[in-house]
Structure 1
Amino acid sequence: MPILHETRTWRPPPLVGASGAAVPWPVRRVLGLQRHGGGDPTFRVAADEAVWRGLRTPLGPATLVVAARPSEGVVVTEAWGPGGTWALDSVPALLGSEDDWSGFSTDHPVLMEARRHHPHLRLGRTGLVMEALVPAIIEQKVTGQEAFAGFRMLVRRFGEPAPGPHAAALDLHVQPTPETIRQVPSWAWLKMHVDPARSKAILRAARVAAALERTIGLEGDEVERRITSIPGIGEWTAAEVRQRAHGDPDAVSFGDYHVAKDVGWALTGTPWDDDQLREFLEPYRPQRGRVPALVAAAGLHRPRRGARMAPRGHLPARVTRW
């Protein structure tokens, strides 16, 4: 049976740069939020700058290719697999066409300057909760190196190759289904450097995956309440999901090792803790997440002078590929 295949062209709203000239839609920058480390097997950037994604949609797996054509002012998309039509329908929202900055204003000079230099920041939304939640749980309270390695091993061992004739050449994969996740044995999680606290949280989420997917379209506070009702999932993880799956501009990753410190340092020259960040951000509700996004886009992070957090040594020997 031939693999379903479809191509579409999306013409985004025109964007104007500081000089008044038209600028291309920031495809790679928007999609970059969905990438979990440079070796993410569900995310590839081809030699022609096209972004390839392996997706688990409500209609099944899909390979989605997104390529900007600035000279024509369009974005060309292509998809394979049973979920291909769903993936193509999601592209405008995925690329941030629904992201609305009109309610955001600030009189802080650092933020005003960051906004002036980055007027076309966009927050996209995938509409896929488990796709964002599983790697977010794996990333809880560990180094990025360890988290990204664990996610890679999970996808390669228990996911599946992305559909289509070209995905194999890019080694593109799709995350495992919730049903498959529920069957992963405890020893396999340890081999992937995912400790019992995190693996149990993933299993609990997989058991209620359908209910979690139905949070798309709900208000951010309600999304957080439902996600954090699962033991082992807290505010930081919920915010990571709200940003990626829901495109929620009010989601802030409180509890992150860097966010509060970097925002405080950028705005005052002194690193903050979460309580100080909460107090500062309150007037920006319901778009509090814009502030850390602007700070990050401007590259305003405090100097990294201390030793990096070391990967834990009490788990089984490191496995580079499954």
Structure 2
Amino acid sequence: MAGRFAPRTTGPALPHQAAPAARRRTGAPPPGAGAEGRTEPPLTREWTPSGPLDLRLVLGPLRRGPADPTFRMTPDGAFWRATRTPEGPGTLRVAARGDRVGAEAWGPGAEWLLAGLPALLGADDDPDAFTPHHPLLAATRRRRPGLRLLRTGLVMESLIPSVLEQKVTTDEAYRAWRLLVRRYGTPAPGPTTTLGLHVMPDARTWAMIPSWEWHKAGVDTKRSSTILRAVRVAPRLEEASSMPFPEARARLELIPGIGPWTSAETLQRSNGAPDAVTVGDYHLPSIVGHALADNRHATDEEMLTLLTPYEGQRHRATRLILLSGRIPERRGPRMTPGNIAAL
């Protein structure tokens, strides 16, 4: 239970405590900067996709709210992503260059990020494996030829924000992610100062966050305890990124507090799993039911029945339904966001 309490003052400081103070004392430059405070030149790569590619559609699922400290889209059309790779923190900038994609990367994880660029942008995805059996899906597929299912190869970066999204409004979850990453993460390598990008904390730092800081971020004990259980076995969970979907899902769901909803939301991003349909979602059954059968009151079971023709591609089917714009009109009040931090 050590992770439920503040670290002892004699122990190593957390990144948000140590880094700024150390830089003030020593004059050391921020991560990704040279000895004189200059940003180190990036590693670069160009990649040509085999077909149409819409970066906004592909990378959009990585963004956790408009103020996500790990993700930015800039006015020049570039996408910036700060993450923690097996090699260390890294920042990736991706932009379309005609029929090619150009990428730049900074930090210890730069080589790892560039090596995984094709997979990130859907090179391992097979859109032709999907056969639309409904006019809505066929029409949406024609209008969105650049949709690919990404694969990050990183489990914890998707698992933790997915746990934060359990049973709360998206605004509450985004706020918690934003506060915790900014406070306990580290500034992203590269020229990211004006973007405010941060790399999420490592497993040890997540485990050392005291209970009152979770509370201040609006995270209840059930969700914070799930995250603490997960980070204690983070290396084992990261292994799921290279497993087939059924085995990966089983690995994640061994952790108490991680169920089908959370494992699907995670593996859609980390593994690019095309069949990882999100069961247990508050809105998705009604959206799928309304789109495919004009049934806005569909249950999870009815949703899965409607998606049976797309077995093996059910996540892609739901993405296309969400992109179609055929969403049932709201007929009730929005869920009121909670704020346990005020208690």
Residue 31 of structure 1 is matched in structure 2 by 59
Unaligned stretches of 5+ residues in structure 2: 1-32, 35-39
Aligned partner of residue 240 in structure 2, secondary structure: coil
Quick check: 1:86 aligned with 2:109?
no
CA contact (8 A) 1:4 1:81 kept: no
Q: Which amino acid aligns with 1:63?
A: T
Q: CA deviation at 1:117?
A: 2.0
Residue 320 of structure 2 is matched in structure 1 by 294
Aligned partner of residue 84 in structure 2, secondary structure: strand
- Decide which of 127, 140, 144 is 1:114's aligned counterpart: 140
- Decide which of 44, 55, 62 is 2:90's aligned counterpart: 62
Percent of paired sites with the same residue? 49
CA contact (8 A) 1:4 1:84 kept: no
CA distance in 2, matches of 1:237, 1:162: 27
Aligned partner of residue 316 in structure 1, secondary structure: helix
Instruction: Write the deviation string for residues 82-108 of structure 1: whole angstroms up to 9, x where unpaired.
Output: 000001111111111211022221322
Quick check: 1:310 aligned with 2:336?
yes
CA distance in 1, matches of 2:310, 2:51: 27
Q: Which amino acid aligns with 1:287?
A: Q
Residue 49 of structure 2 is matched in structure 1 by 12
- Decide which of 24, 49, 53 is 2:81's aligned counterpart: 53
1:213-224 matches, within 5 Å, as 213-224=238-249
CA contact (8 A) 2:242 2:271 kept: yes
Residue 158 of structure 2 is matched in structure 1 by 132
- Decide which of 283, 304, 313 is 2:309's aligned counterpart: 283
Quick check: 1:208 aligned with 2:233?
yes
1:174-213 matches, within 5 Å, as 174-213=199-238
Aligned partner of residue 29 in structure 1, secondary structure: helix
Q: CA deviation at 1:301?
A: 1.0
Q: CA deviation at 1:4?
A: 6.8
Aligned partner of residue 82 in structure 1, secondary structure: coil
Q: CA deviation at 1:50?
A: 0.6
Aligned partner of residue 91 in structure 2, secondary structure: strand
Instruction: Write the deviation string for residues 187-218 of structure 1: whole angstroms up to 9, x where unpaired.
Output: 11000100000000000000010001111121
TM-score, with normalisation over the residues of structure 2? Answer: 0.86
Q: CA deviation at 1:283?
A: 3.2
Q: CA deviation at 1:112?
A: 1.9
CA contact (8 A) 1:159 1:176 kept: yes
Instruction: Write the deviation string for residues 140-193 of structure 1: whole angstroms up to 9, x where unpaired.
Output: 0100110000000010011000011x1111101000001100101111100010
Instruction: Write the deviation string for residues 255-288 of structure 1: whole angstroms up to 9, x where unpaired.
Output: 1111110010011211211010112223322111
Aligned partner of residue 54 in structure 1, secondary structure: strand
Residue 70 of structure 2 is matched in structure 1 by 42
Aligned partner of residue 249 in structure 1, secondary structure: coil
Q: Which amino acid aligns with 1:290?
A: R
1:144-163 matches, within 5 Å, as 144-163=170-189
CA contact (8 A) 2:157 2:200 kept: yes
Question: How large is the RMSD of aligned CA atoms in angstroms?
Answer: 1.4
Instruction: Write the deviation string for residues 200-258 of structure 1: whole angstroms up to 9, x where unpaired.
Output: 00000000100011111211111111111100111100000110110000001111111
- Decide which of 276, 286, 290 is 1:251's aligned counterpart: 276
- Further displaced range: 56-65 or 3-12: 3-12
Aligned partner of residue 241 in structure 2, secondary structure: coil
CA distance in 1, matches of 2:160, 2:94: 23
CA contact (8 A) 2:155 2:266 kept: yes
CA distance in 2, matches of 1:116, 1:81: 39
Distance 1:181 1:102, change over 3 A: same
Following TM superposition, the consecutive aligned residue runs of length 4 or more in structure 1 with deviations greater than 4 angstroms are: none
Q: CA deviation at 1:300?
A: 1.5
Q: Which amino acid aligns with 1:13?
A: S
Aligned partner of residue 75 in structure 1, secondary structure: strand
Residue 8 of structure 2 is matched in structure 1 by none
CA distance in 2, matches of 1:178, 1:4: 29
CA distance in 2, matches of 1:114, 1:45: 24
Distance 1:28 1:114, change over 3 A: closer
Q: CA deviation at 1:109?
A: 2.0
Residue 19 of structure 1 is matched in structure 2 by none
Higher normalized helix content (fraction of residues): 2
Unaligned stretches of 5+ residues in structure 1: 16-24
Larger Rg: 2
How many pairs does the alignment contain? Answer: 305
1:94-113 matches, within 5 Å, as 94-113=120-139
- Further displaced range: 114-123 or 217-226: 114-123
CA distance in 2, matches of 1:120, 1:54: 23
Q: Which amino acid aligns with 1:10?
A: W
Aligned partner of residue 261 in structure 2, secondary structure: helix
